[in-house]
Amino acid sequence: MNSYNIAVIPGDGVGVEVTEATLKVLLAAAEKFGFNLAPTQYEWGCEYYVEHGEMMPADGLSQLKKSDAIYLGAVGWPEKVCDSVSLHGLLLPIRKQFDQFVNMRPHRLLTGTSGPLKKTKFDILCIRENTEGEYSGAGGRVHVGNPHEVAVETSVFTRHGVERLLRFGFEQARQRSGKLASITKSNAQKYSMVFWDEITEELSAEYPDVTVERYHVDAAAARMITHPESFDVIVASNLFGDILSDIGAAIQGGLGFAASANINPSRELPSMFEPVHGSAPDIAGLGKANPVAAVWSGAMMLEHLGETKAAQAIMAALNDVLASPDNCTPDMGGKATTSEVAEAIVKAI
């Protein structure tokens, strides 16, 4: 029997509830499809910070390193720890240190859900660079607090980083419709984004079967709203992918439906799976959080581990379950609690 060690970081706020819900579903799927999941919980996050002055222990990353995959609920609680500290202390270092350079986010409507758009037919896979670019953390401030103060923040793009991400995108496009949309802002950012465009063009010669479309990020954002059906695979930088995948989430009906995988395709280091939503302190602990994004992220984890049938069964169960208003959380206009939805998914598997 295959067995997988999963490092589980419930994190902050609703992260705790949706992680609990997801674990129920994943364990049920493991039982049904005959493999073993061994979760180890790590109680890291903003509470931990308040006690210890850091988001995770100094050897946190090496503790996680041994796992086959990492599952994360949500990080952040601005009233306790400012976001720029909490994210740079846990989520972002995991993505960067484990070289999870692909952040993959699927955007489509599940059966029974409906988004804010009149149009309902779209199936977008957003592939975002996850280790460099606008999130490099390079910068500083001079003349602090005086009228001449200046803050600089430098985006760093390496050929290594851009090329491997684009290559992953081309491969995905090849497996889907053969259409790849590359997002830049090269009309305004003439160093970083022109560089990205050049590498896209070079690589496209190696993938003659893939049609590349180029959009500026502003136009792409608008087009995801007016013509979402026109996109298939999207490749974008760390920041642009962040923004576009939140637009993807919005047209899916909200962050309660947006799943994500932070992948190191080499598999030498663990990948991490997390819903796109944050910790939502305002509804934390009330059982109101929609667990769909979290469960979907769990299905992506099983898929990554090679348990494709179990992943498919979870996705089928999600589609079944949401068709009934009884299984809808408040954000979907229903009254079900987080754990009731999880129970329904478990039953459907």
CA 166/CA 236 separation, integer angstroms: 9
Q: Does 221 bind a second copy (CB under 8 A)?
A: yes
**Residue number with CB closer to ligand IPM (83 or 229):** 83
Those residues with Cβ within 8 angstroms of residue 223's Cβ, 6 or more apart along the chain or in another chain:
215, 230, 231
Interaction of residue 99 with a second copy, rule CB under 8 A: no
Q: Which is nearer to ligand IPM, 62 or 187 (CB)?
A: 187
Q: How many residues bind ligand IPM (CB under 6 A)?
A: 6
Under rule CB under 8 A, residue 316 binds a second copy: no
Q: Round to whole Å and give the CA distance between 279 and 286.
A: 12
Residues 276-295 that bind ligand IPM (CB under 6 A): 276
Question: Rounded distance, CA 266 to CA 117, Å?
Answer: 38
Q: Out of a second copy, ligand IPM, none, which partner does residue 32 contact, by CB within 5 to 8 A per kind?
A: none
CA–CA dist 90, 88 (Å, integer): 6
Among a second copy, ligand IPM, none, what does residue 152 contact (CB within 5–8 Å per kind)? a second copy
By rule CB under 8 A, what string of x and - marks binding of each residue 44-63 to a second copy?
--------------------
Q: Which of 276, 241, 238 is nearest to 153 (CA)?
A: 238
Q: Which does 335 bind (CB under 5 to 8 A by kind): a second copy, ligand IPM, none?
A: none
The correct pick among 36, 111, 187, 230 for binding ligand IPM (CB under 6 A) is 187
Write the interaction track for a second copy spanning residues 119-158; mark x where CB under 8 A is met and - where it is not: x--------------xx-xxxxx----xxxxxxxxxxxxx
149 Rama sector, left if φ>0, alpha if ψ -120 to 50, beta otherwise: beta
Q: Is 242 in the site for ligand IPM (CB under 6 A)?
A: yes
Residue number with CB closer to a second copy (322 or 344): 322
Label each residue of 255-313 as H, E or C.
Answer: HHHCEEEEECCCCCCCEEEEECCCCCHHHCCCCCCCCHHHHHHHHHHHHHHCCHHHHHH
Task: State how beta strands 36-41 and 3-11 pair.
Answer: parallel
194 contacts a second copy (rule: CB under 8 A): yes
- What residue 153 binds from ligand IPM, a second copy, none (CB within 5 to 8 A, per partner kind)? a second copy
**Interface with a second copy (CB under 8 A), residue from 97, 177, 186, 211:** 186
Radius of gyration, CA atoms only, the chain: 20
Sign of CA dihedral 259, 260, 265, 267: negative
Residue 51's φ and ψ, nearest 5 degrees, are -80, -40
Nearest to 42, CA basis, from 80, 13, 71, 78: 71
Number of Cβ within a 10 Å radius of residue 346: 21
* Under rule CB under 8 A, residue 213 binds a second copy: no
Distance of CA 229 to the CA centre of its chain: 21
Phi, psi of 218 (to 5 degrees): -65, -45
Please report whether residue 221 would count as binding ligand IPM according to CB under 6 A.
Answer: no
Binding mask 66-95 for ligand IPM (x = CB under 6 A): ---------------------x--------
Instruction: For the CB of residue 258, give the shortest distance to ligand IPM in the complex, in Å.
Output: 9
Q: Residue numbers of the site for ligand IPM (CB under 6 A)?
A: 87, 187-188, 218, 242, 276
**Contacts with a second copy, residue ranges (CB under 8 A):** 76, 83-84, 86-88, 92, 116-119, 134-135, 137-141, 146-160, 185-195, 216-219, 221-223, 225-226, 238-239, 242-243, 245-247, 249-251, 254-255, 278
